[in-house]
Chains A and B, each alone.
Chain A
Amino acid sequence: MVIFSVYVVNKAGGLIYQYDNYVPRAEAEKTFSHPLDLVLKHHDEKVVVSFGQRDGIRVGHAVLSINGVDVMGKNTADGKDILEYLKDPSNYPVSIRFGRARLSSNEKLMLASMFHSLFAIGSQLSPEVGSSGIEMLETDVFKLHCFQTLTGIKFIVLADPRQSGIDALLRKIYEIYSDFALKNPFYSLEMPIRCELFDQNLKSALEIAEKAGNFGAGS
């Protein structure tokens, strides 16, 4: 029962705060010999598996490190292109670590803005009058909860699908935002939140929510 991350989006759709509480990294490291039986391709400045799923290495996983040394985007740490490196039989046997690529800050910004728009479209396509935007989005591995305040700020929490008490947690995060960000005289509205007390209190609220499994109303 886990809370993965928290995002706060301002009313223009820009990400102003992001915190990763728990990031499960399923990685697989294997030693390969020439020729490589996985098909790799360039995607978004990374090298990802496009075909040849096996042994914990899934399609979409990115190359994280080669021979123990972390890669830098499309190139190895020495600056050589990864696909060229792997075509050369003299470099084998080689040990490659694959896993889900971590999201860069830019990608998080884009995803937050994307959600901001999807939230609005969810309200427009409603078959019922007076619908809000997307408040909860469910997949098989996580549930995304969103709470929009009257001023247009969205608090988004990604959690395990079985985690309960997220509504109360969202209200609590709003309370922490108004106490430690809004009341901070050095904080400008709609700007990225860089307030230590906000971070600390958010972390402890998440811990309480995870332990209790259910965030009590009287906390």
Chain B
Amino acid sequence: MTVHNLYIFDRNGNCLFYNEWNRKKQAGISKEEEFKLMYGMLFSIRSFVSKMSPLDMKEGFLSFQTSKYRLHYYETPSGLKFVMNTDLSVTNARDTLQHIYSNLYVEYIVKNPVCVLGHSLDSELFSSRLDAFIRALPYYSPRAA
């Protein structure tokens, strides 16, 4: 039961924040390219889902899973995208991501007069609180490497 990594993207596709906890395999491309690929994949999935969907959707794309991991997605109405990769045992991390947005991002970034929205989040308080929150999650357990 573990969280692999977390990305935060803004509405223009810039990666504002990235952190990893238990990642076993790197993508084989530079971090910048990985962020662009991740954002591009999510953008395409959202467009794919809106065309494919047999009924009108309210929330849209929620998550996908492969044989080894599960990607959870949460988008705020302002276009901010929270993406978390966990292992397969975590079925619903939407509340977690919503909590990260409302209790961590809004509190420590939006309400911070020094932080410029749209740029990389470099608030140490945010990073440490987020790290503590993730480690405190019931489904997080640091695996023996």
Contacts and interface: CB of A to CB of B under 8 A. Distances in A.
Interface of A: 4-5, 22-24, 26, 58, 60, 100, 103, 107, 111, 114-115, 117-118, 121-142, 144, 158
Contact of A135 (B34, B50, B60, B67): B67
Given A127-B22, A141-B56, A142-B54, 5 more contacts: A118-B44, A122-B66, A124-B27, A127-B20, A128-B69
A135 B23 contact: no
Given A24-B55, A115-B48, A118-B44, A127 B5 contact: yes
Given A127-B20, A131-B66, A142-B55, A137 B49 contact: yes
Interface residues of B, number: 40
Contact of B56 (A5, A22, A26, A128): A26
B32 interface: no
A125 B41 contact: yes
B58 interface: yes
B63 interface: yes
Nearest to B85: A127
Contacts, number: 118
Contacts of B44: 114, 117-118
A127 B25 contact: yes
Interface string B24-38: 110110000010011
A126 B48 contact: no
Interface of B: 4-5, 20, 22-25, 27-28, 34, 37-38, 41, 44-45, 48-69, 71, 85, 87
A135 B54 contact: no
A134 B68 contact: no
Given A131-B66, A132-B66, A135-B67, A118 B45 contact: yes
A134 B73 CA distance: 14
A132 B44 CA distance: 19
A115 B51 CA distance: 12
Given A24-B55, A127-B85, A129-B24, A137 B67 contact: no
A161 B96 CA distance: 21
B79 to A, nearest CB: 16
Contact of B68 (A60, A111, A130, A141): A130
